[in-house]
Structure 1
Amino acid sequence: MSERHSTKKLDLNSSAVDAATTTTITNRRRFFGHVVLAGAASAVLAACGGGSDPLEPTGSSSDDKFDLKSAFNRLKDGMRSGDVVALVGAEPNTTSTSTTHIWTDDDGERLLVTFTQEGVVNGAKYNSNDSAELEWVAGNV
């Protein structure tokens, strides 16, 4: 017994084949467009650099300058000694006691921060040659 195989000739011009091919091509183009768009958006966002971190040093690493007034303005309740050092961007110039840290710079700015015995910010004072003294006490907004 022999089996007879029938072969059908596909009509590549049929509307069913055209619709399937068109849909596949459209889906591939759409997917490729999404990939390109996502890549471009990622590149743009990476170039922007994002927002600022409140614990990021305020100074520039190239000239070792730091902005003590900006650090003073960003002090928050609950900060610990390490948080304040990170905020200023440098270790204190002077530690008069274990609970008092003092930063000074060449422009006459001075930041004095006091801590509780547990190491939490208790208060701060900022002054410079060209401004009045500013004072901040933990717990007061």
Structure 2
Amino acid sequence: MFGGIVVGGDKMGKLYGFPTANLDCTKKEVKLGPGVYAARCSLEKKVYKAALVIKNMPAWRVEIYLVDYDGPDFYGSFLEVDPIQQVASVEKIYHKDELINKINQDILLVKEFFSTISKSTSLHS
């Protein structure tokens, strides 16, 4: 588990319909390699399912997409992140349409992961 303050980024995710929170944190705090992870994130005492992206291209950064979040921007807020499982790799993509498809695919993988967890949990309840 790690956390960081949400800072401004290049806003490309928002431009393409996927607003992400860029976290101000270090590699030492995160302790994970590049990839797309299913995660749970706490924002203002509420927990969200999330797609966590850690990448080295062009520079190391951590971005979070909160699944089903439809609230205001939360720059300056502290976001706590609990990575659960890697669901995809990070790829170098050169075209907008390919990037949008990859983001959609990654979010779908995260949703499927949480759906699987919900089903297995309800079987044991």
Q: TM-score range by the shorter chain?
A: under 0.3
Bigger fraction of residues in helix? 1
Bigger fraction of residues in strand? 2
Higher gyration radius (CA): 1
* TM-score normalized by the length of structure 2: 0.26
* TM-score normalized by the length of structure 1: 0.24
